[in-house]
Structure 1
Amino acid sequence: MTSSLADILRAWPRTEEEAFAVQDGLRSQLVIEGLPGRPATVAGLDVAYHEDGERLAAAVVVLDTEDLTVRDTAVVRGRAAFPYVPGLFAFREIPALIEALGKLTVQPDVLICDGHGLAHPRRFGLACHLGVLTGLPTFGVGKTPLVGSWAEPGAERGARSDLVDSGETVGAVLRTRAGVKPVFVSVGHRVDLADACALTLGLAARFRLPETTRLADRACRDGLR
């Protein structure tokens, strides 16, 4: 990873103004490009919160892209690192997710967040932030949209439409299961939208959500128990 947890925490913002400045500074480092080839491993990342809204468990689950077997799992328990502020939600979760990534013994080729990347009011959601900090290709798959409007994609598996915000295409509305409501895919860093959608479809052979999201969700919920 390009940034260690210690380095990240030393510069972690304490106010909204500081957090906005961090987003503005890191956004210029985003790179949107196609993947160099098929990744061998992908990781799902998710965070579950205790009912008090502050304690959390962050999970990373690494899968083999050939057969979707689990190669590695790491779970970290902690507390939210920032107050809840719309548009700054990533600041609550990133330290715990970076710590969990650091505990892996299998390095993932691509990170897939349960959230958004460019499909964010400031064009810098969790997937963008994690991608820049780790240097890894990263994108988000959301269950619901955060911004934008779209036309309903076709009913068949693989159908997609553009997610558009302020005249800019910020993601895709992707049908992963025929006749089932779509998911919302947006790039974060070092991946383009076509590759992000193709990976999402490949990881969602049986269910609406990709296996990365399903397994990371289960792992972080178990981590709260």
Structure 2
Amino acid sequence: MTHPSIVILTGAGISAESGLGTFRDEGGLWAQHRIEDVATPEGFARNPTLVVDFYNARRAQAHEAVPNAGHAALARLQAEHKGEVLLVTQNVDSLHEKAGGSDVVHMHGELASALCSNCGHRWTAPLHMEVGEACPTCAQPTARPDIVWFGEIPYHMERIEAALAQADIFAAIGTSGNVYPAAGFVQMARYVGARTVEMNLDPSQTVDLFEDTRPGKASETVPQWVDDVLNG
């Protein structure tokens, strides 16, 4: 018996129940700023203090956040499923790792990481970054949050696309379907004949491309789906 190869994509919806806001949340961190000002290379060039302070606030929030049952269920799937399970996240928090997830692919970067825009070196970000921090490798004052901003190329795309080309099951959890290339993953999975499932509080922009949709909170839908896969 062969065990299905699984690719999972998670978005902001899975972390929302842990208190980390999405783009659309009123009153959250994102509601206080324009995306152009805090999530683009141009915004960083214009006002690096604003951008660094914004990600310091996000980092502090994420540092205190606790994984929910959705994160825990995916970690259990990685631990117990005998086939391949690639966990790809658009999220920049570490909740999958806190829940026990292994080999999590952060396609949009990580709050816990700093990046040198001069030499490309990465290191663990302090909880509070300062503008113009020196890179520990090249000593240039060119540290920035290790986040993929709008207009930049997501990380690990070759690995993700290779996994999708071999996938038997593709699951999207808590994603809006608005941001490419992630929004196109379901089409890549369908092309190779993978079974597709979406778990979301509200339907995504690409919901019609999924053969199975499970509306509801990730903390409820994901554990049930993981049970179904492991018992399948």
Q: Bin the TM-score by the shorter chain.
A: 0.3 to 0.5
The answer to which structure has the higher helix fraction is 2
The answer to which structure has the higher strand fraction is 1
TM-score normalised by length of structure 2: 0.33
TM-score normalised by length of structure 1: 0.34
